[in-house]
Amino acid sequence: MNQGMRTKKTTKDRIGLIGHVVANYPSPEAARAMIRNMVEAGVAVIEIQIPFSEPAADGPVFMAANHCALENGVTVNDAFTLMHEASKAHPNTDFVFMTYLNIVYKAGYAAFVKRAAESGARGLIVPDLPLEYVDRLDQEAKVFGLDNIRLIAPNTASDRLVLICKSARGFVYAVARSGVTGGATAVSTQLSGYTSKISALTPTPIGLGFGIRSPEDIMGLKGVSDYAIIGTAALQAWQTGGDATHRDFWKKIAKAANHS
């Protein structure tokens, strides 16, 4: 059985990295190449997204990627195959499934979590699962040694924030701003106050995402967040120049994060 995620708090001069791929987008070979590039750059956690027709938390880049993957015939089974291959090939990296509740519900909570664990996943991110309904998935995740990742937004009410932090496992996914993924986020003292409030309520590491795009952003997040979550900007690097541009993007991000 898995033992959950290996994430940890970081120091003020270094920040961990979390990356993201849509399963088999734009092709099975490309998705595997993106994962290799991230692993080589020292990315600690990689989200493998199961393509879904209505990815409500995703901005236009990932929404288009989801739709393209589905049009190309990518299935839930394909995502499990990718998870299995990636986790076996890169045992020092934590892989998590990012998906939407409809997929989990259709498979059955226990069946989905069991299969996720058997494929090598160490955690789950289900952004449209409300806090009021997390207990069932939490219970199954605990049985199979997975962490069910909590999301927090800047406008989360104080009482709700306490409840989320109390049950946080793996890492807290702190959404940097309201809206969907992809748009730029200004790194400011306001973010520091936001993450400090979370840190006061839980020892669980914080990953900050939505709009983190550049080495300058990474530098600004040191001491603010334990992990920087980068998705859209990395995918756009691939779309712009393929494997070489994607690899170079992550090398620059890793250098800013003090991985080299």
pLDDT at 183: 46
Q: 75: domain range?
A: 16-253
Residue 247 reports pLDDT greater than 50: yes
pLDDT at 258: 83
User: pLDDT by residue (tens digit) across 230-243?
Assistant: 999 999 999 999 99
Higher pLDDT residue, 222 or 183? 222
Residue 185 reports pLDDT greater than 70: no
**pTM higher than 0.85:** yes
Q: What are phi and psi of 172, to 5 degrees?
A: -90, 125
What interhelical angle do 189-199 and 158-166 show, nearest 10? 60
Give me the sheet containing 123-125, strands edge to edge: 147-148, 123-125, 94-98, 45-49, 16-22, 227-229, 206-209, 172-175, 150-152
Tokens standing for 143? 């049985």
For residue 37, what pLDDT band results from cuts at 50, 70 and 90?
very high
For residue 259, what pLDDT band results from cuts at 50, 70 and 90?
low
Is 11 a member of any domain? no
Is 258 a member of any domain? no
Is 5 a member of any domain? no
Number of structural domains the chain divides into: 1
pLDDT (average), residues 213-219: 94
For residue 147, what pLDDT band results from cuts at 50, 70 and 90?
very high
Is 226 a member of any domain? yes
Residue 1 neighbours by CB distance under 10 Å? 9
pLDDT at 163: 96
pLDDT at 59: 83
Is 10 a member of any domain? no
Catalytic residue positions, numbered: 47, 58
User: pLDDT by residue (tens digit) across 50-83?
Assistant: 999 988 778 899 999 999 999 999 999 999 999 9
pLDDT at 182: 43
pLDDT (average), residues 95-124: 97
Question: Which residue type occupies 185?
Answer: T
The Cα–Cα gap between 9 and 77 comes to: 34
Query: Degrees (nearest 5) of the Cα angle 94, 135, 19?
Result: 25
User: pLDDT by residue (tens digit) across 151-183?
Assistant: 999 999 999 999 999 999 999 999 985 444 444
Q: What are phi and psi of 36, to 5 degrees?
A: -60, -45
Bond from prior residue into 26 cis (ω within 30 degrees of 0):
yes
CATH code at 29?
3.20.20.70
Is 43 a member of any domain? yes
